[in-house]
């Protein structure tokens, strides 16, 4: 997994599958996000997201009031977010 940040857009390439992926995502996003801010997440390749990453994104939206929008590249991940009723919360769109 690779993560890059440019102009408020976080791009996560590869599969999000391990605890170290979660730690990397959390560390990088915590460094740029402020309470009440906006964040665009581009996830072009991953077929799933670990529960720890979902929980972290949920905390950002619910507790920290961060406005997240997701751009999802994989249909399977889009279906997972839909099944978990997170598509609307994370403003996920298929790209």
Question: Measured between alpha carbons, how far is 29 from 41 in angstroms, rounded to an integer?
Answer: 10
Residue-wise pLDDT for 22-42, tens only, equals 999 999 999 888 767 899 999
Question: Measured between alpha carbons, how far is 54 from 79 in angstroms, rounded to an integer?
Answer: 14
Question: Measured between alpha carbons, how far is 1 from 78 in angstroms, rounded to an integer?
Answer: 18
Out of 11-15, 34-38, 67-71, which region has the weakest mean confidence (pLDDT)? 34-38
All domains of the chain in start order, with CATH: 2-94 (3.30.750.24)
């Amino acid at each position: 997994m690779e993560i890059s940040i440019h102009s408020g857009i976080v791009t996560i390439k590869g599969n999000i599958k391990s605890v170290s992926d979660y730690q990397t995502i959390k560390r990088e996003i915590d460094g740029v996000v402020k309470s009440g801010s906006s964040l665009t997440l581009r996830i072009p390749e991953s077929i799933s997201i670990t529960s720890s990453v979902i929980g972290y994104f949920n905390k950002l939206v619910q507790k920290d009031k961060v406005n997240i929008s997701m751009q999802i590249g994989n249909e399977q991940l889009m279906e997972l977010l839909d099944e978990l009723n997170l598509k609307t919360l994370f403003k996920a769109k298929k790209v």
